[in-house]
């Protein structure tokens, strides 16, 4: 056996008993979660181009643990699911850092030239809405490690 092999064997024999007596380490809570359902209900009357696409934009971290805390928009074109209801059929809003405020809004040219967020539901929960002086809206939400939105 080589000198390196003996050294490795010696280290393993010293560390193995210590590992046997240590307490088990359970899996840690995930630091990210996913938005798996998106639904928007159009409440305002249609006054513009009803054939224009309705798009949801969700802003969250560029990458989990980004050292500069940058955000990036993720988009989904919503499909009509009724006369005034729209859904994202294939949401790809994954790896959202948990327990922090993030924003979302809807571009719905049929009702406003500005972003709207009234009655936007993420993971079946209606998100909070901020309305700015110019009438634009932004939705604010948090997601926990289990995917619950508040």
pLDDT tens figures, 23-34:
445 456 558 999
Domain boundaries, the chain: 32-141
More confident residue, 28 or 96: 96
Q: Give the mean pLDDT of 120-145.
A: 97
What is the structure's pLDDT at 66? 82
pLDDT at 60 over 90: yes
Q: What pLDDT sits at residue 1?
A: 55
Q: Give the pLDDT of residue 64.
A: 75
DSSP per-residue string spanning the chain: --HHHHHHHHHHHHHHHHHHTSPP-PPPPPSEEEE--EEEE--SPP-S-TTS-EEEEEEEESSTT-TT--EEEEEEEEEESSSSEEE-SS--EEEEESSS-EEEEEE-TTT-SS-B-TTEEETTEEPEEEE-TTS-EEEEE-B-TTS-B-
Q: What percent of the chain has pLDDT over 70?
A: 80
The yes or no reply on domain 32-141 and CATH 2.60.40 is: yes
């Amino acid at each position: 056996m080589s000198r390196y092999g003996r050294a490795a064997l010696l280290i393993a024999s010293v560390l193995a008993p210590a590992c046997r007596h240590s307490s088990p380490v359970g899996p840690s809570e995930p630091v990210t979660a996913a938005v798996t359902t998106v639904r928007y209900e159009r409440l305002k009357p249609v006054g513009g181009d009803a054939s224009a696409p309705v798009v949801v934009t969700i802003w969250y971290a560029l990458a989990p643990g980004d050292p500069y805390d940058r955000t990036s928009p993720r988009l989904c074109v919503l499909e009509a699911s009724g006369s005034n209801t729209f859904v994202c059929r294939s949401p790809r809003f994954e790896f959202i850092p948990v327990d922090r405020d993030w924003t979302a809004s809807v571009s719905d040219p049929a009702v406003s030239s500005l972003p709207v967020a009234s009655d936007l539901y993420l993971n079946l929960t209606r998100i909070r809405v901020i309305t700015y002086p110019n009438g634009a809206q932004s939705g604010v939400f948090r997601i926990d490690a289990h995917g619950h939105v508040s």
